[in-house]
Amino acid sequence: MIYFDNSATTRPYKEVLDSFLTVSRNYYGNPSSLHSFGAQAERLLTQAREAIAKLLQVKTSEIYFTSGGTESNNLAIKGAAFRHRNRGKHIITSSVEHPSVRLAMEQLKQAGFEITYLPVDETGRISAIDVEKAIRKDTTLISIMQVNNEVGTIQPIEEIGEMLKRYPTILFHVDAVQGIGKVPLALHEDRIDFCSFSAHKFHGLKGTGILYMRDGARLTPLFSGGNQEGKLRSGTENVAGAVALAKALRMTLTKSEAGIERMKTIQNLLRTELSKNEAIHINTPVENAAPHILNFSVKGSKSEVFIHSLEEKEIFVSTTSACSSKKKSASSTLLAMGVPETIADSAIRISLSYENTEAEALEVIKAIENTVKRLGRVMK
Q: How does pLDDT run across 292-334, given as a tens digit for each residue?
A: 999 999 988 889 999 999 999 999 999 875 555 455 578 899 9
Kindly state the average pLDDT of the residues 278-296: 97
Using an 8 Å Cβ cutoff, are 320 and 349 in contact?
yes
Q: Please state, as a whole number, how many other Cβ atoms lie within 10 Å of the Cβ of residue 233.
A: 24
What are the domain boundaries of the chain?
A: 2-8+256-379, 14-251
Distance CA 93, CA 336 (A): 14
Sort strands 63-66 and 347-351 into parallel, antiparallel or unpaired.
Answer: unpaired
Count other Cβ atoms within 10 Å, centred on residue 374.
11
Does residue 380 register a pLDDT over 70? no
In whole angstroms, what is the distance from residue 292 CA to residue 183 CA?
A: 10
pLDDT exceeds cutoff 80 at 378: no
Q: Does the pLDDT at position 379 exceed 60?
A: no
Q: How far apart are CA 235 and CA 268, in angstroms?
A: 45
Its pTM stands at 0.94
Are the folds of 2-8+256-379 and 14-251 the same? no
What integer pLDDT is reported at residue 299 of this predicted model? 87
b/e sequence 168-177, b meaning 16+ C-beta within 10 Å = eebbbbbbbb
pLDDT digits (tens, 9 = 90+) for 28-41: 999 999 999 999 99
For residue 291, the model assigns a pLDDT of 98
Q: What is the pLDDT of residues 111-136, one digit of tens each?
A: 999 999 999 999 999 999 999 999 99
Terminal-to-terminal C-alpha distance of the chain: 31
DSSP labels, 89-119: -EEEEETT--HHHHHHHHHHHHTT-EEEEE-
The closest of 196, 194, 204 to 178, measured between CA atoms, is 196
Q: Is 195 a catalytic residue?
A: no
Measuring CA to CA, which residue among 11, 9, 30, 27 is closest to residue 19? Answer: 27
Contacts of 296 (CB under 8 A, 6+ apart): 274, 280, 281, 282, 283, 284, 347, 348, 350
Residues 6+ apart with CB under 8 A from 172: 141, 142, 143, 144, 160, 161, 164, 191, 192, 193, 194
Name residue 330's amino acid: A
Q: pLDDT tens for residues 241-257?
A: 999 999 999 999 999 99
Does residue 142 contact residue 173 with C-beta atoms inside 8 Å? yes
What's the chain's average pLDDT? 95
Q: How many CB atoms sit inside 10 A of residue 236's CB?
A: 13
Q: How much is the pLDDT for 192?
A: 98
Percent above pLDDT 90 for the chain: 91
pLDDT in tens, 36-79: 999 999 999 999 999 999 999 999 999 999 999 999 999 999 99
The pLDDT assigned to 328 comes to: 59
Fold of 2-8+256-379: Aspartate Aminotransferase, domain 1 (3.90.1150)
pLDDT tens, position by position, 191-206:
999 999 999 999 999 9
CATH 3.40.50.11810 at 14-251, yes or no: no
pLDDT band at residue 175, thresholds of 50, 70 and 90? very high
Distance of alpha carbon 345 from alpha carbon 304, whole angstroms: 9
Tell me the three state secondary structure of residue 342. Answer: helix
Catalytic residue (choose from 279, 282, 322, 323): 323
